[in-house]
Chain A
Amino acid sequence: MASRVVITGLGVVSPIGIGVSEFWKSALTGRSGITAIPSLGWFPMSGYRSQVAGQVHNFAPEQYLSAMQANRVDRYAQFSLVAAKEALTDANLSMAKEAPHRVGVIVGAGMGGMVMGEREITQLFETQRPHRVHPNFIPTITLNSASGIVAMAHGAKGPNLTISTACSSSAHALGQALHCIRTGQADVVIAVGADASITPLVFAGFCSLRALSSEFNNAPEQASRPFDRRRDGFVMGEGAAALIVESWAHAKKRKARVYAELAGYAATSEAYHMVIPQEDGQEICTTMKIGLKSAGIGPDQVDYINAHATSTTIGDAVETKAIRLLFKNRADKIAVNATKSLVGHTLGAAGAIGAVATTLAIHTGQIHPTANYEEPDPDCRLDGIRRAVQERKVRYALLNAFGFGSNNATVVFKKFVA
């Protein structure tokens, strides 16, 4: 029997709130955090097809971080630091009492330090003055800057990894944290997901890919509408979330409060297409099935799915198809929601933010609404999707995350019973 792994701390930086309590309070209202973006800093957005995003407003790094820490890393890593700090505090985990090499950090990030990246590249090409490229450019854009700085902030000397599988990055971070503890490499893993790349170039790239919503520029709060008939693409978001993942034995010893148990994980590749999921839903179905198997349960035991559901036309329909394939006539009995309806698609942070929502659903028995689910699309019809809070005892829950590069992940959560 594999060792049990539990979640004991949570932290969030999101477009609907910095800090778990603000995030969750807002999530339960079902209010969207998507707003208009007339400009990105000084950079005008009028030429962009999509002009809405889920930004983290009023984020003042100095409020949470020392000037030295804040200056050394990009926005996504600042988010990581803030979320990790909150999660550690929430878990009541004092690093002074831990063996440093038994605490790991695994971060999922899709884009990394694009704020500085774009600024420095633009400046170099414009001025052709190579000696004016910032000395901190390389350490900042190196994709493991967040996992590095989080470890440094807390003296966590165990496994330190960064997983970059686009939009599924932090679901894998969580899954790998589970493996890391089950295989005895660590007692505790700070699992983080983070991205902050609502930047002129990245935003333009997603626009060119025709992946973003462009029909709701005048009604931003309606733009992210997973499963709804009028959805027309995802809305870019930014943020971070952190989960303290530890062995049950370790949590018990330090009398930690447990939110939920991490019960299983599946990692697959569709080996199919860079950006399009296999349309019959078979691959996603298989991913969920492997996840259930790794948790040692069957489809009849799942009460809730935190769907990947980005609000793209194909993506939501294929995920629905996969849920029907796997759960058959039980599909309509499962509560399903889309955290992206509230915060947009936070890319590398999406899995971790969804994981916080899933953990809290299990812990509190409340499943947050799916915003803008007004007119069910026949291609995505599932009775368990609601615009209101669903009160429900959840024993097992799934978190889905799918990334560019044909990458899929499912994480299985379980109600914790000692």
Chain B
Amino acid sequence: MFLIGHGISVRSDLPIPEWLFGWAAAMVLVVSFVALAVLWPEPRLQKPTWRPLPGGIGRVLASRPVEIICGAIGIFLLGLTIYAGLRGTQSTAANFAPIFIYVIFWLALVPLSVLFGDVFCAFNPWRAIGRGTAWVARVVSRSELPAPLEYPGWLGRWPAAVGIFAFATMELVASDGDKPDSLAVAAIAYSAVTFIGMALYGVERWIDRSEAFSVYFNLFSRLSAVETRDGEVGLRRPLSGLPRLESLPGTVALVAVMIGSVSFDGFTGKRPWNSISPDIAQVFQDRGLSPQHALEATFMLGLIGAVLFVAAFYWLGVLGAKSVGGGFSARRLAHEFVHTLVPIALAYVAAHYFTLLLFQGQAMAYLISDPLGKGDDIFGTANSQIDYTLIGANGTWYWQVAFVVAGHVAALMLAHDRALALYEDKRKAVRSQYWMLGVMVGFTSLALWLLSSANS
């Protein structure tokens, strides 16, 4: 394969052996049946529970000075990434930009969001710049700014879905997607789009619905027990943030992109893909594309196919759930249950990328001392190396299975809870659950298959 996929990954996981794959799949089935029998009979997650952190710590954490410091750190990191990408060495592994974007920003923020809530919101450089600019404009003009345009209702989370898809294209399709200067240019272009969006529709509205990474990390932070409410950090029941996910157009598409892109990344290592992709690439080459562009076109097709497959499979479950009656439209049901796919998306990311984060994350130790890859040694850590002995293949397999099964269980609980709240007739609630259970077993089996040695 030609520099496609993870150019930054120098060590890949071994596939899960078939015996463990079998046990994991069996465990998923058992867990599902047990869940149907023993889960709570009344909805529990739908009502918000939240209490502030003790001793006023919650107010301090969400205070203005902390907000300004975090925002400044975010802006500094964005600036450093763009600077290193443009001015530093163009070797992927020796430059700060690719590792920071693909490993620290894209991967490390996921577990941080799940553990500590919406941390990206605090460090979001675009939000900080937007709010800072608005403040300066207010002070200079000594008046209130004109009200932003009204955000079109049909737009919903579509811009975020498109944004995450574009990021996945950069990561998995574009052959220059791991090149420092391409990444810097992409970061500048994305910043420009975000500034225009914020200027038109207001900072908070754009960040809340359209800024792809805010929406992405916010989805994961809804699994967390930590939530900031009215300028104070507090604790809630884990998972309880997800049922409150506002139903907006584009949400199903966003989640399909999230699961589909990780699936595609796993699928490209599988035999079916490796046997068919050269033929597809040949077709493009016969149409006059260069070998590299033909390969990119093939991967683009594969990525789109994976996203559509995930979306179609979810809709199949929704149509099944509709068939049990209750008077809900398919569209309504699709939105009522989409939040249950978030833990599954998390399981995909965690199982697929946690060793990449664990190992390539260590590259930060030398990259902060030498961000441009030009032989600097700012903090004296430029010669530190990645310790690949941290976790062996066996340990990796068990963690991967654990993530996938845990995601499955969380998804089941959320779907169960929503069905109880939605259907007046308890029997219909349970019957609708058979369909959602089918969807989840399907996604979970797919995740295990992608990680396993079957057909690899």
> Does A associate with B in a complex?
no
A-contacting residues of B (Cβ < 8 Å)? Answer: none
B-contacting residues of A (Cβ < 8 Å)? Answer: none
